[in-house]
Amino acid sequence: MTFDAIDAWWWPFFFILIAGWLATDSWRFLGVFLGGRISEDSEALVFVRCVATALVAAVVAGLILTPNGALADTPILLRAGAAIAGFAAYLAAGKRMIVGIVVAEALLVGGVLWG
């Protein structure tokens, strides 16, 4: 079965929905199934956490250093400063993620509106 297999207006949307679901949820179900059997201190789970953290860091670095769209029109110092201030607020608030996000977003939006 391919993307062009059926000539109907709804087929591409259905194909993307099914392909996206299979690609992500199958791994989620496997993670839930195996996650309860693995110790939190096991080397496998530590490795998985390290890879997940590295992927998130890479995405954030990509958004700061080489953004697309409207974010590309903002100065790099504004993007980096908002990220640093958001992280500092996150730590200062006792690792409350919402605080870091709100601070970083407020600085970024404020910098865009000011400039």
Task: Give the DSSP per-residue string, the chain.
Answer: --TTSS-STTHHHHHHHHHHHHHHHHHHHHHHHHHTTS-TTSHHHHHHHHHHHHHHHHHHHHHHHS--GGGGGS-HHHHHHHHHHHHHHHHHTTS-HHHHHHHHHHHHHHHHHH-
- Do the domain assignments include residue 72? yes
- Do the domain assignments include residue 12? no
Q: How far apart are CA 72 and CA 105, in angstroms?
A: 15
User: What does pTM read for this prediction?
Assistant: 0.66
- Structural domain including 86 reads 38-114
- Do the domain assignments include residue 52? yes
- Do the domain assignments include residue 20? no
Total number of domains in the chain:
1
> What are the tens digits of pLDDT across the range 36-49?
788 888 898 899 88
> What are the tens digits of pLDDT across the range 50-92?
999 999 999 999 999 999 998 999 999 999 999 999 999 999 9
